[in-house]
Chains A and B, each alone.
Chain A
Amino acid sequence: MSNVPADLKYARSHEWVREHSDGTVEVGISDHAQHALGDLVFVEVPAVGRTLQQGEAFAVVESVKAASDVYAPVAGTVVAVNEALGKTPEAINQDPYGAGWIMRLKPAGALAAAELLNADTYTTLADAG
């Protein structure tokens, strides 16, 4: 069973979103997603300052099996990226909701408009495959 923390929001494309008190959000990929990908070997993170549309590919995670795009769960501007993933991509496998974070985003609008999933709904989606 994959781990789906109740305090996060999720996109159908398997990214998680953590809201911070300063109005920014942290984004990574879910435990379910990292497990499906297998051991990660390279991660390409976006440039700070890049503006993203909701659903736009912003990062590439490459595992021993395949390369996959990671999509922006909300529209916004990249304010920070996890440079450590360049040396330790396996952090996403080991700690997808912590050390495996990919970027911090300043959302362009209200988060509610992004229609993200809560943990229960995402669990149902992930279990369905």
Chain B
Amino acid sequence: MGLRTPLYGLHVALGAHMVDFGGWDMPVNYGSQIEEHHAVRRAAGVFDVSHMCVIDLHGARVREFLRSLLANDVARLTQPGKALYSCMLREDAGIIDDLIVYFQGPRWYRVIVNAGTREKDLAWIRARAAAFEVEVHERRELAMLAVQGPEARARLASLLTPPDAAAALAQGLFFGTQLGEWFVARTGYTGEDGFEVMLPAEGAVELWNRLNELGVQSCGLGARDTLRLEAAMNLYGSDMDETTQPLESGLAWTVAFDPADRSFIGRAALEAARIAGGGQRQVALLLEDRAVMRSHQRVVTSAGDGSITSGTFSPTLARSIALARMPAAAAVVGSTVQVEVRGKLLAARVVRPPFARHGRVLVELQGDGNSAT
């Protein structure tokens, strides 16, 4: 038996197909993964993400600590509630994890890390927090629900008191607010608008049921994966890990090199890699043929081989899409590469990510999906 979230019993009662996910028993779908995916692109869906790890950091020097710990710069967070996406790096710039950090106040930040990396992340953070007199509190008593889709914010807001609903709806993108016992943030992992809600575990089942009553679709990890891949968002452990750096994982935009005098873990290795150039880059691929790209498949390019890091069938595009890592010289939008799918070399086009967002396809599909060859 794996670890269970406070919603485990409800998932089973709803007929979810449960799978092991990093040691957790999680719902992969409640029937049709594709219907759940479409519900989020077109209306609203709810995901149990309570397996993720919420860590509160407190202390007079917590800002200074995070400016040293993270590759992105929390000094960019000037308004309370504002959130930032960042990598946490090793000295050699290998990615320990990707995370979201919320600025709660001058002495308090909240960090959300992945479930599968929880123990090593906590160990890494604790080992460095002491020198800054920062206290590290894991908030295991919280459940987390992601409510996503064009109608998600309105549906969730209808469950709040009028003043809380107004406050929640007034939040800008990537802001979070404490509303009574709930922390409501305008964040997500689907390429749609929505909220992520952290709340005391004992209230999670009731919230889920009330969202279902409002027509919000129960969604599993299967739809979460196809939605995030259409939005070209990385998955830790697939698209990056400790052996890869942000610059070769499509995450250069998350590294704050300015100001030049900010010292952070991994900075020296990143600057060396930037000067050296070349290496590998992440690309987004659209398959021209009717088949499905999968992780670890070989990508053949004019500059050498690469590899698929995440591949799937995109329900919104009705085509196969992937993220891949390949030689920088061949990572040119518009060029064609070949992917080895079940023993055959099939044509795929390098496209500008994301593939889909806010209910719309954002790449040129060029005809019916049949290869020109």
Within 8 A of B (CB), among A49-84: 60, 62, 64-67
User: CB distance B290 to A38 under 8 Å?
Assistant: no
A39 interface hit (Cβ, 8 Å) = yes
Contact residues, B10-48 vs A (CB, 8 A)? 17, 28-29, 32-34
| Any A CB within 8 A of the CB of B159 | no
Q: How far is the CB of A89 from chain B (nearest CB, A)?
A: 10
Instruction: Specify the chain A residue showing the minimal Cβ separation from B35.
Output: A39
**One of B28, B32, B292, B315 near A42 (C-beta < 8 A):** B292
Please give the distance in Å from B217's CB to the nearest CB on chain A.
15
B336-370 Cβ-contact flags toward A at 8 Å (1 or 0) = 00000010000000000000000000000000000
Interface residues of A in 5-64 (CB under 8 A from B): 35, 38-39, 41-42, 60, 62, 64
Chain B, interface residues (CB within 8 Å), range: 10 to 19
* Known A38-B222, A39-B34, A41-B313: A67·B292 in contact at CB below 8 Å: yes
Which of A64, A65, A67 has the most chain B CB within a 10 Å cutoff?
A64
Q: Choose one: A39, A60, A67; the contact of B32 (CB below 8 Å).
A: A39
On whether the beta carbons of B291 and A64 are closer than 8 Å, the reply is no
Given the interface pairs A38-B222, A41-B313, A67-B342, the reply to whether A62 lies near B32 with Cβ below 8 Å is no
> Chain B interface secondary structure, helix, strand, loop or mixed?
mixed
Of the four ranges (under 10, 10 to 19, 20 to 34, 35 or more), the interface on chain A belongs to 10 to 19
> Chain A residues near B32 (CB, 8 Å)?
39, 93
Chain A contacts of B34 at CB under 8 A? 39, 41, 64, 90
Are B342's CB and A64's CB within 8 A? no
CB distance A64 to B222 under 8 Å? Answer: yes
**Min CB–CB distance A38 → chain B (angstroms):** 6
| A62, B291: Cα distance in complex, Å | 8
Contact B313 A38 (CB under 8 A): no
A41 to B319: give the CA distance in the assembly, Å. Answer: 9
Residues of chain B lying within 8 A (CB to CB) of residue A35: 17
Q: How far is the CA of A129 from the CA of B76 in the complex (A)?
A: 52
Partner of B290, one of A42, A65, A66: A42
State in angstroms the CA–CA spacing of A38 and B36 once bound together.
12
Indicate if B178 sits at the interface (CB-CB under 8 A): no
With a CB–CB cut-off of 8 A, which chain B residues contact A39?
32-34
- Closest B residue, CB atoms, query A42: B290
Give chain B nearest CB distance to A39 CB in angstroms: 4
Q: Which residue of B lies closest to A94 (CB)?
A: B32
Tell whether B301 is near chain A: CB-to-CB under 8 Å.
no
Q: Which residues of B284-304 are within 8 A (CB) of A? A: 290-292, 294
Q: Which residue of B lies closest to A86 (CB)?
A: B290
Q: Is the CB of A41 within 8 A of B292?
A: yes
Cα(A82)–Cα(B182), bound, Å? 53
B229 to chain A, nearest CB (A): 11
List 20 A-B residue pairs with CB atoms under 8 Å apart, sorted by A's residue number: A38-B17, A38-B28, A38-B33, A38-B222, A39-B33, A39-B34, A41-B34, A41-B313, A42-B291, A42-B292, A42-B313, A62-B292, A64-B33, A64-B34, A64-B312, A65-B222, A67-B294, A67-B342, A90-B34, A93-B32
User: Hey, which bits of chain B sit against chain A, CB under 8 A?
Assistant: 17, 28-29, 32-34, 222, 226, 290-292, 294, 312-313, 315, 342
Enumerate the 7 nearest inter-chain pairs by beta-carbon distance, A residue then B residue, closest first: A41-B313, A39-B34, A39-B33, A64-B313, A64-B33, A62-B292, A39-B32
